[in-house]
């Protein structure tokens, strides 16, 4: 703060000096401007007095005086010339020039004073009067010529008139006395007006210079403001350019990051979240313009097998190749990978017909042979389609519906794309209802067990009873093929499975009609792999006090492939408790024999489909199965025996046990008792 004040004060002082110097320079210039006329006038007057009047006594002295005057005049002329050429137009330092010019003026005035005083006595009245007149003229001329220097102007007048006037006053000659009086009066008035003129000059010069200074300062400031503005606008322009390129760079980087974070790293198609984002944007646009959007859910068939048999590297390469084929059909990255071997494709502005023809073309493209790591592979896909807004207005539901359509189609093993429909919608609704109902099915006592006998081939006496779960959902009987997968998906299978195991063990332990018959309980793979499963098993055996040998656990063959190690460990734990293990639906799971060899099981259940198709190739499979069972040292059960002929054939083939409607359909516990009692009589 004090620095700033000091700076302002300093610059103010500088300004005052600057103005004072300019004032002095102007006043000096004013004096110089009149020098030439003054000198000429003075020289002419000097020559006139010396040569025009006849003064023989003093002539030589006057000539000497004139010579001195001429020298002073020459010096002053030289000084004027120097000013005129060198200084006049410059901002020169005025004090020295001013001193010189004032010295010149006073010197000449002094010479005139000397002239009047020295030659006074020799002058007659005429000469005296002329001299007076001359001095008065010179002094009045100096009045304005010396207005730039007040003291010099007054001194000049005083030097010119006062001594000669005083001499005239005191000469004792009356006419001289009057001249003296006039001279003094004139001297006073000239001195007074010289002082006034000097004051006026002083004032006007001062005002002019202050104004000039202010003006100059204003110009300077305006120029500075212009300069600053210019620099600012230049900087602003540069900033704009920099900002623009910065913005572009940021935009580019943001796009890059967005693209990278949006893509599935393996297939370079949109990942889940990016696809959903794209879907909602496209959906909003299409709905606004009154068009529909088709969503294709593409699921590969047989990919799992490729992955399992040829390894993940080949699997990945297949996914990349298929993604490329799908991507080639999709515009603007409107294809995505939903996960695993599932892909999605978005068709904006598409109707049913377009969606189905694109899906067909896509299926044809995907089915073309793939050359992957020197393997020629054949792959197919199943496509489900859902339309927005026709089927739903929610984007996530749209994906679910297309997935559902695909899933339903896959179950039917049909190659054509499946459009979501009202029927499917009803199905879906029903499934949702079932899923909701399943939560409370056990608590509401809607679930119960039926038992289906498995009889010995030779005696037809019951060997085991398979517990088959039934669900009476609000008066409708829902089949296990429908609700078991739902229970598996929702995780309810653990609770339901534990209930089944417990119930079956208790029932079997109370079968007085068949105290040696076993109970076969179906166990889902999810249930089996649950870490609590063995505890649940132990608890069921403990509560029911059922001998473990009387319990058979049926595990579906198709589940083995994925979980070999874990399944093996579980089977060993089960066998360690003396509980029997059956492989259910044998022949449908395509398990390799080497895999089966390492597993600990007691019975193979030949799937009903082979019995049903006995004459269309099923027989060979059954014979092969029987051979394997013999090799492994295990028993065989044939499922789905409906006719005597089937029973006969199978028993001739060497099957140990039979199960099917021929003997009995699944029955509730009471009916089972009656059935046993019935066959015994």
Q: How far is the CB of 458 from ligand C2E (least distance, A)?
A: 19
- Measuring CA to CA, how many Å separate 26 from each of 6, 34, 42, 204, 214? 30, 13, 24, 10, 17
Distance in angstroms (rounded) separating the CA atoms of residues 123 and 177: 15
Residue span binding ligand C2E (CB under 6 A) among the ranges 42-50, 187-195, 424-432, 521-529: 521-529
Instruction: Report strand pairing: 342-348 vs 293-301.
Output: antiparallel
* Contact set for Mg ion, span 518-537 (CB under 5 A): 522
Q: For ligand C2E, which is the closer residue by CB, 311 or 479?
A: 479
Residue 402 burial by Cβ neighbours in a 10 Å radius (0-12, 13-18, 19+): buried
Q: Which does 389 bind (CB under 5 to 8 A by kind): Mg ion, ligand C2E, none?
A: none
Q: For ligand C2E, which is the closer residue by CB, 143 or 556?
A: 556
> Is 656 a binder of ligand C2E (CB under 6 A)?
no
Q: What is the per-residue binding string for ligand C2E in 606-645, x denoting contact by CB under 6 A?
A: --x------------------------------xxxx---
Q: How far is the CB of 481 from ligand C2E (least distance, A)?
A: 5
Residue keyed to tokens 């193979």? 604
Closest CA to 637 of 617, 600, 611: 611
Q: How far is the CB of 522 from Mg ion (least distance, A)?
A: 5
Closest CA to 672 of 561, 431, 507, 441: 507
* Contact set for Mg ion, span 542-571 (CB under 5 A): 554
Distance in angstroms (rounded) separating the CA atoms of residues 487 and 493: 5
> Is 524 a binder of ligand C2E (CB under 6 A)?
yes
Q: Is the peptide bond before 505 cis (omega within 30 degrees of 0)?
A: no
Distance in angstroms (rounded) separating the CA atoms of residues 681 and 679: 5
Q: For Mg ion, which is the closer residue by CB, 341 or 466?
A: 466
Q: How far is the CB of 455 from ligand C2E (least distance, A)?
A: 12
Distance in angstroms (rounded) separating the CA atoms of residues 515 and 509: 8
Residue 640 burial by Cβ neighbours in a 10 Å radius (0-12, 13-18, 19+): middle
Distance in angstroms (rounded) separating the CA atoms of residues 231 and 201: 43
Residue span binding ligand C2E (CB under 6 A) among the ranges 320-328, 359-367, 473-481, 594-602: 473-481
Question: How is residue 270 annotated by DSSP?
Answer: B
Closest CA to 191 of 235, 230, 228, 147: 147
Q: How far is the CB of 562 from ligand C2E (least distance, A)?
A: 17
Residue 61, SS3? helix
Question: How is residue 445 annotated by DSSP?
Answer: T
Q: Which residue of 30, 41, 163, 480 would you call a contact of ligand C2E, by CB under 6 A? A: 480
Q: Which does 484 bind (CB under 5 to 8 A by kind): ligand C2E, Mg ion, none?
A: ligand C2E
Q: How far is the CB of 497 from ligand C2E (least distance, A)?
A: 6
> Is 491 a binder of ligand C2E (CB under 6 A)?
no
Q: For ligand C2E, which is the closer residue by CB, 286 or 509?
A: 509
* Contact set for ligand C2E, span 657-676 (CB under 6 A): 659-661, 666
Q: Which residues bind ligand C2E (CB under 6 A)?
A: 452, 468-469, 479-481, 484, 500, 522-524, 554, 584-585, 608, 639-642, 659-661, 666
Q: Which residues bind Mg ion (CB under 5 A)?
A: 522, 554, 584-585, 639
């Amino acid at each position: 703060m004090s620095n700033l004040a000091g700076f302002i004060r300093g610059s103010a002082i500088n300004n005052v000096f600057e103005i004072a110097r300019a004032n002095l320079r102007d006043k000096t210039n004013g004096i110089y401007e009149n020098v030439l006329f003054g000198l000429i006038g003075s020289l002419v007057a000097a020559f006139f007095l010396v040569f025009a009047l006849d003064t023989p006594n003093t002539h030589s002295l006057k000539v000497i005086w004139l010579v001195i005057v001429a020298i002073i005049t020459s010096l002053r002329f030289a000084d004027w010339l120097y000013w005129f050429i060198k200084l006049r137009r410059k901002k020169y330092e005025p004090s020295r020039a001013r001193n010189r010019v004032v010295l010149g003026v006073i010197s000449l005035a002094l010479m005139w004073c000397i002239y009047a005083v020295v030659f006074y006595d020799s002058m007659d009245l005429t000469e005296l009067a002329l001299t007076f007149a001359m001095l008065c003229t010179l002094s009045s001329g100096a009045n304005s010529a010396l207005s730039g220097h007040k003291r010099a102007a007054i001194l000049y007048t005083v030097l010119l008139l006062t001594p000669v006037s005083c001499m005239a006053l005191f000469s004792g000659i009356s006419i001289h006395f009057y001249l003296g009086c006039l001279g003094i009066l004139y001297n006073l008035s000239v001195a007074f007006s010289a002082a006034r003129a000097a004051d006026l000059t002083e004032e006007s010069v001062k005002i002019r210079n202050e104004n000039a200074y202010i003006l100059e300062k204003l110009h300077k400031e305006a120029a500075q403001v212009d300069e600053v503005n210019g620099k600012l606008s230049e900087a602003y322009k540069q900033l704009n350019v920099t900002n623009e390129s910065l913005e572009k760079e940021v935009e580019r980087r943001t796009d890059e990051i967005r693209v990278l974070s949006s893509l599935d790293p393996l297939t370079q198609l949109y990942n889940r979240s990016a696809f959903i984002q794209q879907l909602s944007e496209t959906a909003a646009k299409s709905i606004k313009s009154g068009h529909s959007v088709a969503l294709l859910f593409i699921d590969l068939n047989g990919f799992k097998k490729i992955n399992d048999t040829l390894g993940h590297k080949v699997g990945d390469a297949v996914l990349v190749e298929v993604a490329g084929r799908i991507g080639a059909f999709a515009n603007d990255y409107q294809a995505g990978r939903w996960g695993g071997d599932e892909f999605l494709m978005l068709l904006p502005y598409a109707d049913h017909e377009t969606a189905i023809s694109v899906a067909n073309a896509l299926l044809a493209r995907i089915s073309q042979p793939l050359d992957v790591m020197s393997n020629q592979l054949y792959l197919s896909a199943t496509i489900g389609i859902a339309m927005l807004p026709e089927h739903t207005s929610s984007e996530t539901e749209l994906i679910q519906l297309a997935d559902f359509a695909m899933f339903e189609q896959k179950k039917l093993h049909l190659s054509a794309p499946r459009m979501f429909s009202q029927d499917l919608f009803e199905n879906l609704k029903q499934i949702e209802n079932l899923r909701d109902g399943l939560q409370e099915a056990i608590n509401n006592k809607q679930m119960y067990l039926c038992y289906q006998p498995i009889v010995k081939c030779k005696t037809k006496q019951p060997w085991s009873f398979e517990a088959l779960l039934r669900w009476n959902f609000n008066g409708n009987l829902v089949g296990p093929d429908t609700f078991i997968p739902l229970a598996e998906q929702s995780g309810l299978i653990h609770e339901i499975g534990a209930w089944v195991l417990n119930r079956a063990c208790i029932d079997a332990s109370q079968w007085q009609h068949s105290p040696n018959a076993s109970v076969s309980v179906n166990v889902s793979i999810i249930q089996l792999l649950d870490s609590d499963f063995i505890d649940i098993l132990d608890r069921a055996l403990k509560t029911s006090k059922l001998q473990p040998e009387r319990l058979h656990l049926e595990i579906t063959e198709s589940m083995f492939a994925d979980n070999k190690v874990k399944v093996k460990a579980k089977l060993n734990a089960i066998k360690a408790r003396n509980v029997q293990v059956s492989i259910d639906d044998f022949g449908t799971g395509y398990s390799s024999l080497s895999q089966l060899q390492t597993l600990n099981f007691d019975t193979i259940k030949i799937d009903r489909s082979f019995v049903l198709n006995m004459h269309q190739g099923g027989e060979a499979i059954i014979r092969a199965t029987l051979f394997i069972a013999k090799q492994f040292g295990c028993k065989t059960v044939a499922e789905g025996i409906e006719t005597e002929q089937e029973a006969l054939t199978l028993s001739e083939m060497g099957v140990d046990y039979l199960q099917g409607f021929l003997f009995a359909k699944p029955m509730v516990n009471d009916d089972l008792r009656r059935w046993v009692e019935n066959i015994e009589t």
